[in-house]
Chains A and B, each alone.
Chain A
Amino acid sequence: MAEPMLKVRGLEAWYGESHVLHGVSLDIHEGEVVTLLGRNGAGKTSTLRAIMGLTGRRAGSIVFEGKETIGLRPDLIARSGIAYCPEERGIFASLDVTENLLLPPAVRSGGLSVDEIYTLFPNLKERARSPGTKLSGGEQQMLAIGRILRTGAKLLLLDEPSEGLAPVIVQQIGRTIRELKSRGFTVLLVEQNFRFAQTVADRHYVMEHGEVKATVTNAELATSMDRLNEYLGV
């Protein structure tokens, strides 16, 4: 098998004094959609943030396309070709929809054009001049995903895109993720909604207490439920 696009080894991270990741290791191959599953506080969001350099101190190794990024500032990590969509969506209230969409600078060629993004998310076009935070939750999520597709980054880190959305919107987000996969994007997805994860992902990492406890392919997921319930159970 080829070298993974993103290779994380022994990743540790801290917020101030609190040690949130205890040696996370992941491999994400080009073109894959991979989810991080786990309960609240398992370290899923922290893993994404640590990959972007947004936690406090970090240790271990994060190799993206053959280059070590553990010592880089967040802006340089983004420039190396990783795009991040945060859990709280991060839509800017003082920017209108178009400004929000155009905010992230292109880091490589080959990103989607604004027209292609509007084709993917027709609602956004109608709301182009509205302030970003006047959108509905679903529209905000589409804007948050849409704006990172322009940049040319090929690895997308999406933090709980289904959270708090109506089922029909969740289905649309799911279609979008499958569409992105077919266009060659690689996606690392944080999810609590495991049924949703099942419809989009190739593989799942299961996390608990800041560590990866198991890895399963999507096909094995149904048969491993008993084992995984220990980590995912409500």
Chain B
Amino acid sequence: MDEIFGIPAPLLFGQLLLGLINGAFYALLSLGLAVIFGMLNVINFTHGAQFMLGAFVAWAMLNFLGLGYWWALLLAPIVVGLFGVLLERTMISQLYKLDHLYGLLLTFGVGLIVEGLVRNEFGSSGLPYRIPTELTGAWDLGFMFMPVYRGWVVIVALVACIATWLVIEKTKIGSYLRAATENPALVQAFGINVPRMMTLTYGAGVALAAFAGVLAAPIYSVNPQMGSNLIIIVFAVVVIGGMGSILGSVVTGFGLGIIEGLTKVFYPEASATVIFVVMAIVLLLRPAGLFGRA
């Protein structure tokens, strides 16, 4: 099988894999956005900067503390998640009583500030981050070579998405989260500390973004814009999947990554816009998104 639909097979599979990788990041990031939006009703525009911070914290841990990839994968989400907790406690929580637009503006501004500070400190050219030795090399799948690290990213992202889904749909804490998403006042009147839940939910969503950032560090170069480049597409993914839908963001994330990859093969000129075309069509036909409740 050298050609499929007149396309050389290695090119097709190569782009499919690339699409799957991008889709993995779309899914992880839109998942965090969906969880945060569901609970806090805030569209977290700092999400891209927090993704980027995850990669930078990983880089800094390696270069200043000698802590490698595996430590970074564990610790960077905690560090950035705590930054999220602080942000929610000191600033975002002050805005819940106002229009949602204020939360959006605040998080947008904080994102710009964070990005600017990192650019001032590290420049915008990008810093290298090595693939950990355990994950170098490639698997021979017969029809193509699959770099081990890329396979790892897809698998880990899938596991993280499924784990998040399980926590939300199948656990006690998840039932509090779902209930509080519907009616926070009543959940609080049952004796649950909803303000603290909101803080922790924000922290967890941010930690998920940072986790994605660490996964991305060896693939994309670690630079201050890496988040803002990605986040525009991720917002389109969230809109297509349906605001606040967990399953929607995961399926849409992977699906759109693949669509984008295939577009690069069949009609490369459209690859940068195809997601927004899909978004426009979905908004026209199903304004609440593919998985959203109208």
Contact = CB atoms under 8 A, between A and B. Distances in A.
A103 B189 CA distance: 12
A77 to B, nearest CB: 8
Interface residues of A, number: 26
Interface stretch (B71-79, B191-199, B275-283): B191-199
A90 B180 CA distance: 11
Interface in A93-120: 93-95, 99, 102-105, 107
B189 A94 contact: no
B267 interface: no
B178 interface: yes
Given A75-B194, A78-B191, A103 B179 contact: yes
A84 B182 contact: no
B178 A74 contact: no
A138 interface: no
A186 interface: no
B181 interface: yes
Contact of B190 (A53, A73, A99, A104): A104
Nearest to A98: B175
Nearest to A93: B182
Contacts of A148: 190
Interface string A60-83: 000000000000011111110001
A164 to B, nearest CB: 19
A94 B181 contact: yes
Nearest to A105: B191
Nearest to B175: A99
A54 interface: yes
The B interface, classified by DSSP as helix, strand, loop or mixed, is helix
A161 to B, nearest CB: 16
A95 B178 contact: yes
Interface range, B side: 10 to 19
Interface in B157-214: 172, 175-176, 178-179, 181-183, 185-195
Contact of B175 (A74, A90, A103, A107): A103
B189 A78 contact: yes
Interface in A29-69: 52-54
A94 B168 CA distance: 11
Contacts of B178: 92, 94-95
Nearest to A84: B189
Interface of B: 172, 175-176, 178-179, 181-183, 185-195
28 contacts: A52-B189, A53-B189, A73-B193, A73-B195, A74-B185, A74-B188, A75-B189, A75-B190, A75-B194, A77-B189, A78-B191, A83-B190, A84-B186, A84-B189, A86-B186, A90-B183, A90-B186, A93-B182, A94-B178, A94-B179, A94-B181, A95-B175, A102-B172, A103-B176, A103-B187, A103-B190, A104-B191, A151-B191
